[in-house]
Amino acid sequence: MNRATRAAVGDHARLEGSDAMRQLMAGFPTGVGIVTAFDAEARPWGMTCTSLVSVALEPPTLLVCLRSGSPTLHAALDAGEFAMNLLHQGARSIAELFASGAPDRFDRVDWTEPPAAAGPHLRSDAHAVANCAVVRQDTHGDHVVVFAEVRDVHLNRTPAPLLYGLRQYASWPTS
């Protein structure tokens, strides 16, 4: 089959730009996390994040992408650390709350600050929380790519992870 024939086969659409990117990533389900950090006045900040990737096991490193203008990003970079709260399947409302930018979000959730916490831990809404130290950052477009080494992980014996894809939330299927 030649290139012209391949282009005409099937029910395919060609998209470009930011709309194409939205469509591409909508079809790539991912886990849902909330990045949290404390600013210099010890105020908690947090935002929903689905741009999370495991980079390396040695040293244990994560990559997160956060919007450049985000106060959570600024708190994390200024502190040099943040907590990654990976949400469980029952925490959809928390994901939506932290995506909304509501200024009172920390008044509306249960959170703790255990010893050596890099940011607020949303223990009742997360199946895992990682304390991370920022090691590198790079600005690209309207986001900052943050590399962070995982210092420690707190695991909860809670329900399955919350997933997001095709513009909807779902839970991990049980077998």
> For residue 128, which amino acid is it?
A
**Closest among 171, 161, 174 to 125, alpha carbons compared:** 161
Asked, for residue 111, whether it belongs to a domain, the answer is: yes
CA atoms within 13 A on the CB side of 64: 31
Asked, for residue 41, whether it belongs to a domain, the answer is: yes
Asked, for residue 21, whether it belongs to a domain, the answer is: no
CATH of the domain at 35: 2.30.110.10
Give the residue numbers spanning the domain of 39: 31-165
- The model's pLDDT over 124-156, given as tens digits with 9 standing for 90+, comes to 999 999 999 999 999 999 999 999 999 999 998
pTM: 0.86
Q: What's the burial of 17, exposed, middle or buried (CB within 10 Å: 0-12/13-18/19+)? A: exposed
Asked, for residue 22, whether it belongs to a domain, the answer is: no
Asked, for residue 175, whether it belongs to a domain, the answer is: no
| pLDDT at residue 55 in the model | 94
Rounded distance, CA 130 to CA 140, Å? 25
pLDDT at 19 over 90: no
Asked, for residue 106, whether it belongs to a domain, the answer is: yes
Overall number of domains in the chain: 1
